[in-house]
């Protein structure tokens, strides 16, 4: 690869693959001439974001030193970054060598705050990792998306939220909200809730009384300000744990929710931890087979 590139040689964004490679090479060249600190400072400046285009950098230990679009990642290990679909995205990106490689994944586009398919060029130089990429619109038919097994509740949670976002992109917010306000959309412990740009609920099938209210005003039965915590979700998602009524049992249970923002809306769903089983004391009658089957049918799915 050439050591430097003049403006006349710089490809245009009309050839996004070549442009991404050139952006990364420019960052490598700056690293060579100005050093680690100056390069990191330059690419941490939000002014370096040009629409969908930006460069991110990690050091020899895969710790982010520059990410202008998501500054909260600076100081964190790339390998700990999960994909929007729950995949080990950071581990995959960290496999880059000095030969460079392309990787594709779902990620928020800073130009429009939407999840889109990103194609990223990443390369190692002097142990550091340099990367840049571009986005392609993502609007699949939600009916064509495959959901993970409920036996893996974390993966299923991710997939259910992505299916809701795909529904929004495919049919718009009115149709999507109507779908997730329908009690028929509740599947045992599973349901999707949605809030609008001002964090007001637009969909919540188990508790329609929440519609129009502010998520940030929602408090758990234990007094936990869970709505404020969920509202902290960004375009890369957030896990929150709290007590909440399980629609299967009607009883409060520990819930683990994943929420993510997309185009200003917040989409969330989650699963409930199984209730603790109390061992029968000596002399307690054991349940008969029919009672045991009934209990199994109403037990929330396990983590």
Q: Mark out the alpha helices in 84-211 (DSSP H runs).
A: 89-93, 153-171, 173-181
Give me the number of domains the chain comprises.
2
- The CA–CA distances, whole Å, from 70 to 19, 46, 107, 250 equal 21, 10, 11, 39
**Spatial distance between the Cα atoms of 93 and 79, rounded to a whole number of angstroms:** 8
| Same-domain check for residues 208 and 121 | no
The CATH number of residue 219's host domain is 3.30.450.20
For 153, counting Cβ atoms within 10 Å of its Cβ (0-12 exposed, 13-18 middle, 19+ buried), the class is: buried
- The CA–CA distances, whole Å, from 75 to 71, 167, 239, 245 equal 9, 35, 20, 37
Within-domain flag for 297: no
3-state secondary structure of 76: coil
Give residue 275's pLDDT.
54
Question: What domain range is 212 assigned to?
Answer: 142-272
Q: Which residues of the chain have pLDDT under 70?
A: 1-8, 275-303
Q: What are phi and psi of 26, to 5 degrees?
A: -65, -40
**Spatial distance between the Cα atoms of 246 and 191, rounded to a whole number of angstroms:** 10
Give residue 281's pLDDT.
40
DSSP state, residue 260: E
| Same-domain check for residues 35 and 84 | yes
For 212, counting Cβ atoms within 10 Å of its Cβ (0-12 exposed, 13-18 middle, 19+ buried), the class is: exposed
Give residue 139's pLDDT.
87
| Same-domain check for residues 130 and 89 | yes
Residue carrying structure tokens 């991110």: 56
Give residue 13's pLDDT.
85
Within-domain flag for 174: yes
Closest listed residue to residue 194, CA positions, set 233, 239, 243: 233
257-293 pLDDT, tens per residue?
A: 999 999 999 999 999 988 544 444 433 333 343 443 3
| Same-domain check for residues 179 and 241 | yes
Contact 266, 230 (CB under 8 A): yes
Within-domain flag for 287: no
DSSP state, residue 190: B
Give residue 10's pLDDT.
79
């Amino acid at each position: 690869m050439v050591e430097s590139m003049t403006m006349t040689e710089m490809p245009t964004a009309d050839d996004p693959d070549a442009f991404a490679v050139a952006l990364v090479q420019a960052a490598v060249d700056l690293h060579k001439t100005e050093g680690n600190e100056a390069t990191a400072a330059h690419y941490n400046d939000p002014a370096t974001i040009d629409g969908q285009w930006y460069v991110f950098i990690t050091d020899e230990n895969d710790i982010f030193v520059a990410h202008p679009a998501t500054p909260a990642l600076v100081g964190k290990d790339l390998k700990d970054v999960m994909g929007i679909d729950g995949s080990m995205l950071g581990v995959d990106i960290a496999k880059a060598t000095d030969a460079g490689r392309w990787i594709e994944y779902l990620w928020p586009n800073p130009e429009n705050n939407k999840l889109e398919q990103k194609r990223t060029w990443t390369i190692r130089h002097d142990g550091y990792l340099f990367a840049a990429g571009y986005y392609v619109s993502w609007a699949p038919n939600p009916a064509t998306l495959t959901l993970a097994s409920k036996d893996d509740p974390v993966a299923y949670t991710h997939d259910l939220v992505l299916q809701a976002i795909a529904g929004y992109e495919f049919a718009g917010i009115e149709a999507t909200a109507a779908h997730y306000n329908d009690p028929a959309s509740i599947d045992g412990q599973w349901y999707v809730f949605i809030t609008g740009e001002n964090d007001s609920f637009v969909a919540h099938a188990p508790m329609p009384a929440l519609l129009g209210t502010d998520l940030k005003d929602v408090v758990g039965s234990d007094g936990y300000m869970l709505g404020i915590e969920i509202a902290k979700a960004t375009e890369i998602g957030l896990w929150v744990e709290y007590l909440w009524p399980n629609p299967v049992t009607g009883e409060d249970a520990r819930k683990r929710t994943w929420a993510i923002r997309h185009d200003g809306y917040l989409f969330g769903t989650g699963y409930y931890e199984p209730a603790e089983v109390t061992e029968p004391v000596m002399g307690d009658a054991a349940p008969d087979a029919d009672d045991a089957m009934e209990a199994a049918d109403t037990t929330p799915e396990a983590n």
